[in-house]
């Protein structure tokens, strides 16, 4: 048997007629950049997230970057995030001219440690970027309360958490502003690079609309120096077709996660992720084991694709050697980086495939 890490084709097959019609509509109306399909998606996505505004952009990285720019964050400023995230979280801070500062994590949930976060606040700190890592909301209420106390902005990195909800509030509606990615493999994926910000702040939404389109308030009248970071029409059309399916896909991801739990609960060498009802939309299903590298090799030889999110914490990446944060700076982040393994996870994965993965994991544990 073969088990892919994600299978984007299976999802396309399940909604092909709707997707093909939407793409053809854009080909016919030639609204290739922004336009009515992007506007419709922005409205629908804001409604879905429970925010007043959503602004369509060309990637999640651009969403993080433009959010920081709209908040007025730049040189001399510090922004606190976590080191166990995709590099783009830190790179957006650097691109805005500010300095990324990292807080350590809770080794059980993998989310930012709010106490450690509090210790990293300095007079230069302007914002916090908590990452809803792997699709879980984490301690977002505590982060928001801490930020309020210190007069800091909260920019949610919701790139992995489309639709995650707690007490009726969704990812993207907790902070001052939030960044989403619609990279094809994300829970809500475009057919290319795309992203968005969500916010309840009209001024921030307006600023980002200007910044994404060359700083223009209208065509060829440029109020500020901006960027070309607009969402393309085909992505708006595809995303608006997919959005009504997202609840069902998230439900399926949670069911698949529960199934992994059931099948692996008697494997003591494996630490399973916490399941917290709808808080978690399981963008990734991440287990922990001291025998990670051997297990990954074993699964590969059995036709099972796995990944590591992420093998090198950002403070230990060559690109950030300049921060001078060596090994030992964030013990918990560094500990889990050597033990985590992401198992195949997508709504269309079958019961047989999950059983096969679980059998192979147990087979490996028995053989060692």
Q: Is 160 in the site for ligand PLP (CB under 6 A)?
A: yes
Where in 113-152 is the site for ligand PLP (CB under 6 A)? 131
Alpha-carbon gap, residue 77 to 69, rounded angstroms: 12
Q: Which stretch binds ligand PLP (CB under 6 A): 59-67, 206-214, 231-239, 344-352?
A: 59-67
What is the smallest separation between the CB atom of 364 and ligand PLP, expressed in angstroms?
28
Q: Is 344 in the site for ligand PLP (CB under 6 A)?
A: no
What is the smallest separation between the CB atom of 74 and ligand PLP, expressed in angstroms?
20
Q: Which stretch binds ligand PLP (CB under 6 A): 48-56, 68-76, 95-103, 156-164?
A: 156-164
Size of the site for ligand PLP (CB under 6 A): 15
Q: Could you tell me which of 41, 275, 49 has the C-alpha nearest to residue 169?
A: 49
- Binds ligand PLP (CB under 6 A): choice among 61, 198, 289, 306: 61
Q: Is 6 in the site for ligand PLP (CB under 6 A)?
A: no
In the bound state, the residue with its beta carbon closest to ligand PLP is 60
Alpha-carbon gap, residue 282 to 330, rounded angstroms: 25
Q: Is 183 in the site for ligand PLP (CB under 6 A)?
A: yes
Token code pair at residue 144 = 């928001």
DSSP secondary structure letter of residue 108: T
In 243-339, where does DSSP find H-type helix? Answer: 246-264, 292-301, 331-337
Residue 165 and residue 144 in contact, taking contact as beta carbons nearer than 8 Å: no
Alpha-carbon gap, residue 183 to 232, rounded angstroms: 13
The kind and range of the H/E element at 20 are: helix 16-29
CB within 8 A of 14, min separation 6: which ones?
A: 348
316 versus 354: smaller Cβ distance to ligand PLP: 316
Q: Is 86 in the site for ligand PLP (CB under 6 A)?
A: yes
What is the smallest separation between the CB atom of 25 and ligand PLP, expressed in angstroms?
24
What is the smallest separation between the CB atom of 134 and ligand PLP, expressed in angstroms?
9
Q: Which stretch binds ligand PLP (CB under 6 A): 153-161, 239-247, 261-269, 335-343?
A: 153-161
What is the smallest separation between the CB atom of 88 and ligand PLP, expressed in angstroms?
4
CB within 8 A of 293, min separation 6: which ones?
A: none
What is the smallest separation between the CB atom of 87 and ligand PLP, expressed in angstroms?
8
Beta bridge partners of 178: 156, 198
- Binds ligand PLP (CB under 6 A): choice among 181, 296, 333, 342: 181
239 versus 354: smaller Cβ distance to ligand PLP: 239
Taking CA atoms, 52 is separated from 87, 201, 320, in Å, by: 29, 8, 36
Residue 12 and residue 20 in contact, taking contact as beta carbons nearer than 8 Å: no
Q: Is 198 in the site for ligand PLP (CB under 6 A)?
A: no
**End-to-end Cα, the chain, rounded Å:** 23
88 versus 177: smaller Cβ distance to ligand PLP: 88
- Binds ligand PLP (CB under 6 A): choice among 138, 195, 226, 233: 195
Q: How far is CA 241 from the centre of its chain?
A: 20
Angle at 288 between CA 353 and CA 314, to 5 degrees: 115
The kind and range of the H/E element at 125 are: strand 125-128
What is the smallest separation between the CB atom of 58 and ligand PLP, expressed in angstroms?
8
Q: Is 110 in the site for ligand PLP (CB under 6 A)?
A: no
What is the smallest separation between the CB atom of 165 and ligand PLP, expressed in angstroms?
18
x/- mask, ligand PLP, residues 312-331, rule CB under 6 A, reads --------------------
Residue 259 and residue 272 in contact, taking contact as beta carbons nearer than 8 Å: no
| Residues near ligand PLP, by CB under 6 A | 59-61, 85-86, 88-89, 131, 157, 159-160, 181, 183, 193, 195
């Amino acid at each position: 048997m073969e088990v892919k890490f994600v299978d984007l084709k299976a999802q396309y097959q399940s909604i092909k007629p709707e997707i093909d019609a939407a793409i053809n509509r854009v080909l016919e109306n030639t609204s290739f950049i922004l336009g009515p399909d992007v506007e419709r998606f922005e409205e629908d996505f804001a409604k879905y997230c429970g925010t007043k505004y959503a602004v369509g952009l060309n990637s999640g990285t651009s969403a993080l970057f433009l959010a920081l720019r709209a908040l007025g964050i730049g040189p001399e400023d510090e922004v606190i995030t976590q080191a166990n995230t995709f590099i783009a979280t830190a790179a957006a801070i650097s691109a805005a001219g500010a300095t990324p500062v990292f807080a350590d994590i809770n080794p059980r949930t993998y989310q930012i440690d709010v106490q450690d976060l509090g210790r990293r606040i300095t007079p230069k700190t302007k914002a916090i970027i908590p990452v809803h890592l792997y699709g879980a909301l984490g301690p977002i209420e505590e982060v928001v309360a801490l930020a309020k106390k210190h007069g800091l902005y909260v920019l949610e990195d919701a790139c992995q958490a489309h639709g995650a909800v707690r007490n009726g509030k969704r990812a993207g509606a907790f902070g001052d502003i939030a960044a989403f990615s619609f990279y094809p493999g994300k829970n809500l994926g475009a057919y290319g690079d795309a992203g968005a910000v969500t916010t309840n702040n009209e001024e921030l939404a307006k600023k980002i609309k200007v910044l994404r389109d060359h700083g223009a308030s209208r065509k060829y009248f440029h109020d500020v120096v901006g960027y070309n970071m607009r969402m393309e029409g085909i992505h708006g059309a595809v995303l608006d077709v997919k959005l009504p399916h997202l609840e069902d896909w998230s439900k399926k991801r949670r069911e698949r996660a529960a199934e992994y739990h059931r099948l692996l609960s008697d494997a003591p060498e494996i630490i399973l992720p916490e399941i917290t009802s709808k808080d978690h939309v399981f963008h990734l299903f991440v287990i922990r084991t001291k025998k990670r590298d051997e297990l990954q090799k074993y699964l590969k030889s059995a036709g099972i694709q796995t990944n590591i999110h992420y093998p090198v914490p950002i403070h230990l990446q060559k690109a950030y050697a300049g921060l001078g944060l060596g090994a030992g700076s964030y013990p918990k982040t560094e500990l889990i980086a050597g033990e985590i393994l992401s198992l195949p996870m997508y709504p269309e994965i079958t019961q047989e495939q999950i059983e096969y993965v679980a059998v192979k994991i147990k087979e490996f544990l028995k053989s060692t």
